[in-house]
Amino acid sequence: MTVRVLLADDQTLVRAGFRVLLERAPEIEVVAEAADGDEAIALTRAHRPDVVLMDVRMPGTDGLTATRRILADDRLPGVRVVVLTTFDLDEYVYAALAAGASGFLLKDLEPDELRHAVRVVAAGDALLAPRITRRLIAAFAHGPAVPGTHTLTGREREVVALVAEGLSNAEVGERLGMSPATAKTHTNRAMAKLGARDRAQLVVFAYRGGLAGVPRPR
């Protein structure tokens, strides 16, 4: 299966570099490039990529605004956005997740990490740059409670806790002695009960609802 990617960055050389790095993987295809937020929105509607790699700081409509508009568009239900930036300022992280982004990465990541990020997000998982995660956890741990937390089963709570640690379905399954498909089923049920639109928001809800750090079975 080919993962179709749209690149949004105001620097031509940055876009060219990402294109070369991404297309070294035969299953990844860059279908369009945008130089600003408005162009990113228009090209996303035209090409309907699986993943948009979105810069934050662009002239005119910025990347966070473009992300919100893309993910609020009912005509683009399958599009996922990964925010890429040279800045790891907290407000960008929170704004990106609030806008519905499935990931937040810094531009100094390694080529293999970039390709891995695209694959992970296209598969429906969430991704955050590791050095951002600790501050993100600290901020969201004291947020408002999440309605629906009490409806989760014990197993769903265990799965959500591991998702909040950044584990994939396969890794969750290995930890809890279940198949990746079963782990995915529990994750999807928890998302439905909590009203989380994706795994990124599920992680936020896990910390707000006190679900992270649930003791794991031995």
pLDDT per residue as tens digits for the range 3-42: 999 999 999 999 999 999 999 999 999 999 999 999 999 9
| Tens-place pLDDT, residues 171-207 | 899 999 999 899 999 999 999 998 887 777 787 788 7
Nearest to 53 by CA among 98, 134, 120: 120
What is the spatial distance between Cα 128 and Cα 103, in angstroms, rounded to a whole number? 5
d(CA 199, CA 181): 15
SS3 5: strand
**Best-predicted range by mean pLDDT among 34-38, 125-129, 130-134, 167-171?**
34-38
At residue 92's C-alpha, the angle toward residues 5 and 192, to 5°, is: 70
Structure tokens at 211: 């679900």
Q: Is the pTM of this model over 0.85?
A: no
How many angstroms separate the CA atoms of 66 and 73, rounded? 11
CA distance 81 to 84: 10
Asked whether the beta carbons of 34 and 70 are under 8 A apart, the reply is: no
How many CB atoms lie under 10 A from the CB of residue 97? 23
